[in-house]
């Protein structure tokens, strides 16, 4: 017995992984994505999801490698904080100072790690009995008290490689921005030069801005953590000899885990017993297909992929059942050790990349302006300390320093509103993607249909109602122990209602369902010991296994097959989902029954299931179409049923492609076909991924909604992954959003919220570039030609601070209907054109204000600064109300908090020159005529901006259709 993770063993595991990465570039891309892509969702247990099925994903072809492909919520070192704030929203300008490192000292330490677990050397080479004894466990699992003791010793089963920020740590981290640190340094220089008042004012304003950002982010972070905690991954374990379903974070070393199809494997373990267990472990080994796992020791020197008796955290069960002894948990797992070595950043969404480019543009402008203004003012013999503070204040005034906080606040408010609608946001950065989505792919069951599957009838091979067929199906449904599904529930309910006695049979064995065979068989024995294999599944697959039909066992010749297929076609066209039932007698034996025994069956009959379209499905599809979201059905069901549902819900020109037709197409052909096709039927998980990739390559932002094992790969590949609270864990963990009810109407409201969030974020950017850029440019220009500084540094910062207060309420602003009418995407050219036009217009009015103050009123320096401070602040405040809408500003009512905070700051701006603070801030009371002139200039500026806005959208909006058109008469 060794303590911790043996070095040799670790090198062996990671050496294998490193070799696979170097030999298999697709695997390298896969693992990098799976290891880093998504923010934390469940505060307990975080695992990735392995890719489903055949071919490895092409690297960086899905926009989710912008967001990601295979992998799921995984908390890793690149996450600086876990306050719920998106990483990109918190990314500072280049450079991180000493205060940031100081902030990390005040972060809460992580929970006790599992890196020190006692693990036997080469545990996969030991017998089950030896391993159970070494781990001081039992075949029937741990007692609750013992499990609690081990969790206290080892820590929860989490990959916690980040630290949870405390309130103090989050506050100190607000100072990590280089701009803030530069201002503090400049203030210290002023103190050294005995400029006490200027230094004190700057420090007070910096502290006020920091408190504003801290308060909003702390509240937003707590809000998101509470929302995410609603979606928790669970595992089934034996405790005190009884199966219990627990949060996966509570799985302890020595637990006995129960696995079935769709289970996410929460920790590393050894298989004690298994039945047709196939595990997808490509996330670790790169193997294309699922591998079979069986009990029994393997060689001590076996590599990771060669340990056929081991299962690993982060992988998932494709089919079969098993009991597993947990050996390693948390960071002691293979995946945890590898994750601990990675420090990659998560891929950014399209919106985040746009924000980043916008920040870089402003940084270049800021640096150029600061250096030029400082050099010119010093050359003109102006006070060097005042010139330095003035230049730095210009930089702060130009920079949208609240942008990270505004993005975070807007996203968190959007997530909170969506939660009230029944949409839980698991990855904040995906909210904008939801608003940008223009194609939604979904299965039909539960979304377009009622989702309450009922068995409408059981019929024999001739199409006559048959209690015997219902009895056979009931035995199969009741005794199967694999994946829980609504079809089996409907069969059991129908059998009970018919009063069929199903208790006289004993289950001997089971051949579990998988997505290749598309059927499930059970072997049962009656009281006499006679054994029978009963199979149930997709009709074409069952029929292919049959050689006889009916109670008489007549040969299944071509004519009889044609009759069965004609019945199938007729019922499918009526919207029924049709399954087949077959059976045969089998000999008693000790060896397990396998797929090879599913042969020479006797076809018994049909099961007809009905899941009618929802009454409001047609209206929902129409509502999505009006919002610019095209709906496509992707289903494994047969073409007849899929077409029937598509026509019932009003999908336009329901063109259809089947899985076999997809296989015959190359990627170029599919690229064109996917655009025109509304229904994809009889498809498998890998074909779903091909469809989504084809739509993405056509320029669409694609959402996928699914809840099954076979949906996990598509959920990862799509730009927006959507699942439901009742989904299997592997699908829920892969999703960006989880619906509390499987309803497209709820999703439609979620799309509106995503677009609202996008719109409110953009409002802040537009307001910032239309006011700040012009004001700072004008101020820099004025400082060159005026014999005095147009504003003191403290006045610039006060102006900036006051104008930021209403900006923090933009997250709750009302959004015009036209903003949510169509998908929106980041447009850098639109932002640039907007900044140039409205920045120059702002500068024109600034220069006009200079002329009025200097030549009309012959204002002294203090009067000039006071007048321009008021005019500059008023224009920034009112312009935000103008540019927040494409309509006439008086036809679009702002949010209550935005309007109230704007009016309050306007009152403060008019009060400051006459307040006791005025001398300390360098202001003087203004004559009434001068104050009225400043207000008149502000009103004139509003009218000019309103006119420019109309002309701008008439020119730019028509060229870029994605931007909303103004309503008639607005």
Average pLDDT over residues 166-179: 65
> Which tokens is 36 given?
């880093």
**pLDDT: which is higher, 694 or 290:** 694
**pLDDT: which is higher, 960 or 212:** 212
**pLDDT: which is higher, 737 or 469:** 469
Q: What is the model's pLDDT at position 403?
A: 66
- pTM over cut 0.75: no
Q: What is the model's pLDDT at position 379?
A: 80
Where do the domains of the chain lie?
Answer: 350-417+750-959, 421-449+614-742, 454-610
Whether residue 78 has pLDDT greater than 50: no
* Of the candidates 587, 612, 583, 616, the residue with the CA atom closest to the CA atom of residue 599: 583
Task: Determine which of 492-501, 503-512, 517-526, 791-800 has the lowest per-residue pLDDT on average.
Answer: 791-800
* Of the candidates 624, 647, 623, 649, the residue with the CA atom closest to the CA atom of residue 448: 649
Q: d(Cα 833, Cα 850) in Å, to the nearest integer?
A: 26
* Of the candidates 229, 646, 648, 649, the residue with the CA atom closest to the CA atom of residue 657: 646
Whether residue 86 has pLDDT greater than 60: no
* Residue 583 contacts residue 602 (beta carbons within 8 Å): yes
Q: What is the model's pLDDT at position 270?
A: 95
Q: What is the model's pLDDT at position 495?
A: 93
Percentage of the chain beyond pLDDT 90 is: 26
Task: Report the number of secondary-structure helices (H) and strands (E) in the chain.
Answer: 34, 25
- What residues does 584 pair with on adjacent strands? 533
Residue-level length of the chain: 970
Q: What is the DSSP letter of 652?
A: T
H/E run at residue 663: helix 659-663
pLDDT tens for residues 687-716? 888 999 999 998 898 999 887 767 877 888
Q: What is the model's pLDDT at position 523?
A: 96
Question: Parallel, antiparallel, or unpaired for β 291-293 and 268-280?
Answer: antiparallel
Query: In terms of CATH, what superfamily is 350-417+750-959?
Result: Calcium-transporting ATPase, transmembrane domain (1.20.1110.10)
Percentage of the chain beyond pLDDT 70 is: 73
* Residue 261 contacts residue 517 (beta carbons within 8 Å): no
* Residue 392 contacts residue 180 (beta carbons within 8 Å): no
pLDDT tens for residues 114-157? 445 678 888 999 999 999 999 999 999 999 999 999 999 988 88
- Alpha carbon distances (Å) from 687 to 280, 316, 714, 717: 17, 20, 9, 12
Whether residue 66 has pLDDT greater than 60: no
Whether residue 511 has pLDDT greater than 50: yes
For 914: left if phi > 0, alpha if psi spans -120 to 50, otherwise beta; the answer is: alpha
Task: Determine which of 19-28, 203-212, 261-270 has the lowest per-residue pLDDT on average.
Answer: 19-28
Average pLDDT over residues 20-48: 35
Whether residue 792 has pLDDT greater than 90: no
- Residues designated catalytic: 443
CA 604 to chain CA centroid, Å, is 46
Average pLDDT over residues 711-738: 80
Q: What is the DSSP letter of 887?
A: S
Task: Determine which of 51-55, 239-243, 537-541, 586-590 has the lowest per-residue pLDDT on average.
Answer: 51-55
pLDDT tens for residues 459-483? 999 999 999 999 999 999 999 876 6
Q: d(Cα 860, Cα 870) in Å, to the nearest integer?
A: 15
Confidence of residue 238 (pLDDT cuts 50, 70, 90): very high
Confidence of residue 72 (pLDDT cuts 50, 70, 90): very low
Q: What is the model's pLDDT at position 255?
A: 94
Task: Determine which of 93-102, 424-433, 635-644 has the lowest per-residue pLDDT on average.
Answer: 93-102
3-state secondary structure of 820: helix
* CA pseudo-torsion sign 581, 585, 587, 590: positive
Q: d(Cα 760, Cα 498) in Å, to the nearest integer?
A: 58
- Alpha carbon distances (Å) from 919 to 251, 254, 858, 862: 66, 73, 21, 10
- Tokens 């949510």 found at: 820
Q: d(Cα 618, Cα 647) in Å, to the nearest integer?
A: 9
Radius of gyration over every alpha carbon of the chain, rounded to an integer in angstroms: 33
The CATH topology of domain 454-610 is Calcium-transporting ATPase, cytoplasmic domain N (3.40.1110)
* Residue 537 contacts residue 487 (beta carbons within 8 Å): no
The CATH topology of domain 421-449+614-742 is Rossmann fold (3.40.50)
Q: What is the mean pLDDT of the chain?
A: 76
Q: d(Cα 60, Cα 66) in Å, to the nearest integer?
A: 8
């Amino acid at each position: 017995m060794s303590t911790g993770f043996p070095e040799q063993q670790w090198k062996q595991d990671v050496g294998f992984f490193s070799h696979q990465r170097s030999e298999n570039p697709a695997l390298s891309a896969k693992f990098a994505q799976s290891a880093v892509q998504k923010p934390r969702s469940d505060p307990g247990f975080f695992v990735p999801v392995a890719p489903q099925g055949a071919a490895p994903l092409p690297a960086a072809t899905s926009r989710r490698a912008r967001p990601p492909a295979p992998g799921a919520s995984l908390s890793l070192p690149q996450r600086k904080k876990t306050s719920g704030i998106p990483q990109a929203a918190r990314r500072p300008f280049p450079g991180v100072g000493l205060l940031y490192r100081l902030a990390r000292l005040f972060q809460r330490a992580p929970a006790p790690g599992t890196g020190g677990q006692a693990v036997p050397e080469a545990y996969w080479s030991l017998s089950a009995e030896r391993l159970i004894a070494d781990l001081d466990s039992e075949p029937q699992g741990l007692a609750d008290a013992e499990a609690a003791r081990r969790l206290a010793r080892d820590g929860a089963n989490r990959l916690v490689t980040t630290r949870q920020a405390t309130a103090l740590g989050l506050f100190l981290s607000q100072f990590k921005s280089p701009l803030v640190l530069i201002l503090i340094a400049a203030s210290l220089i002023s103190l050294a030069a005995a400029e006490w008042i200027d230094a004190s004012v700057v420090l007070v304003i910096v502290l006020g801005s920091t408190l504003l950002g801290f308060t909003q982010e702390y509240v937003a972070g707590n809000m998101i953590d509470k929302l995410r905690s609603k979606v928790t991954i669970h595992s089934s374990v034996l405790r005190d000899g009884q199966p219990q379903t627990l949060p996966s974070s509570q799985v302890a070393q020595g637990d006995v885990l129960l696995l079935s199809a769709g289970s996410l494997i929460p920790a590393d373990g050894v298989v004690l017993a298994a039945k047709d267990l196939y595990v997808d472990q490509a996330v670790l080994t790169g193997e294309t297909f699922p591998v079979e796992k069986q009990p029994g020791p393997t060689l001590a020197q076996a590599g990771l992929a060669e340990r056929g008796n081991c299962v690993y955290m982060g992988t998932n069960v494709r089919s079969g059942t098993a009991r597993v002894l947990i050996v390693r948990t948390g960071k002691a797992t293979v995946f945890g050790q590898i994750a601990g070595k990675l420090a990659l950043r998560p891929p950014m969404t399209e919106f985040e990349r746009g924000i980043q480019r916008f920040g870089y543009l402003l940084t270049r402008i800021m640096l150029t302006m600061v250096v030029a203004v400082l050099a010119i003012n010093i050359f003109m013999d102006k006070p060097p300390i005042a010139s330095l503070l003035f230049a730095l204040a210009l930089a702060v005034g130009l920079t949208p320093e609240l942008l990270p906080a505004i993005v975070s606040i807007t996203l968190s408010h959007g997530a909170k509103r969506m939660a009230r609608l029944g949409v839980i946001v698991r990855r904040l950065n995906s909210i904008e993607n939801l608003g940008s989505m223009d194609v939604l792919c979904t299965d039909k069951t539960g979304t377009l249909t009622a989702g309450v599957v009922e068995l409408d009838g059981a019929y024999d091979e001739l199409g006559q109602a048959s209690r015997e067929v219902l009895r056979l199906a009931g035995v199969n449904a009741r005794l199967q122990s694999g994946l829980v599904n609504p079809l089996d529930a409907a069969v059991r309910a129908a059998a009970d209602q018919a009063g069929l006695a199903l208790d006289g049979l004993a289950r001997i064995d089971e051949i579990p369902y998988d997505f290749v065979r598309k059927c499930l068989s059970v072997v049962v024995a009656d009281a006499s010991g006679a054994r029978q294999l009963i199979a149930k599944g997709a009709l074409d697959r069952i029929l292919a296994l049959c050689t006889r039909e009916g109670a008489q066992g007549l040969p299944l010749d071509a004519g009889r097959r044609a009759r069965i297929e004609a019945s199938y076609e007729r019922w499918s066209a009526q919207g029924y989902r049709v399954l087949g039932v077959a059976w045969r007698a089998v000999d008693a034996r000790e060896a397990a029954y396998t797929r090879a025994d599913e042969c020479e069956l006797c076809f018994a009959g049909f099961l007809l299931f009905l899941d009618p379209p929802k009454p409001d499905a047609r209206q929902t599809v129409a509502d999505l179409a009006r919002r610019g979201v095209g709906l496509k059905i992707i289903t494994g069901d047969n073409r007849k049923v899929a077409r029937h549902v598509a026509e019932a819900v009003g999908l336009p020109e329901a063109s259809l492609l089947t899985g076999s037709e997809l296989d015959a197409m190359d990627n170029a052909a599919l690229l064109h076909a996917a655009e025109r096709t509304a229904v994809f039927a009889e498809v498998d998980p890998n074909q779903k991924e091909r469809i989504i990739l084809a739509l993405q390559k056509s320029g669409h932002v694609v959402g996928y909604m699914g809840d099954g094992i076979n949906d996990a790969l598509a959920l990862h590949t799509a730009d927006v992954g959507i699942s439901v609270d009742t989904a299997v864990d592997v699908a829920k963990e892969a999703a960006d959003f989880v619906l509390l009810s499987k309803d497209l109407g709820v999703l439609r409201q979620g799309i509106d919220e995503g677009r609202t969030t996008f719109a409110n974020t953009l409002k802040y950017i537009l307001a910032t570039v239309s006011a700040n850029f012009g004001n700072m440019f004008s101020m820099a220009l004025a400082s060159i030609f005026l014999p005095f500084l147009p504003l003191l540094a403290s006045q610039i910062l006060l102006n900036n601070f006051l104008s930021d207060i209403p900006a923090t309420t933009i997250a709750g602003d009302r959004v015009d209907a036209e903003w949510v009418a169509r998908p929106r995407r980041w447009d850098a050219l639109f932002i640039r054109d907007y900044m140039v036009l409205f920045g120059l217009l702002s500068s024109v009015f600034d220069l006009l204000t200079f002329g009025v103050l200097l030549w009309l009123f012959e204002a002294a320096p203090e009067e000039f600064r006071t007048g321009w401070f008021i005019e500059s602040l008023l224009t920034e405040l009112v312009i935000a109300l103008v540019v927040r809408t494409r309509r006439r500003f008086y036809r679009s009512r702002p949010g209550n908090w935005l309007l109230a905070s704007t009016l309050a700051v306007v009152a403060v701006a008019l009060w400051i020159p006459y307040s006791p603070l005025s001398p300390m801030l360098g202001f003087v009371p203004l004559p009434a005529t001068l104050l009225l002139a400043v207000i008149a200039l502000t009103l004139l500026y509003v009218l000019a901006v309103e006119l420019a806005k109309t002309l701008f959208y008439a020119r730019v909006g028509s060229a870029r259709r994605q931007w909303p058109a103004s309503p008639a008469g607005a």
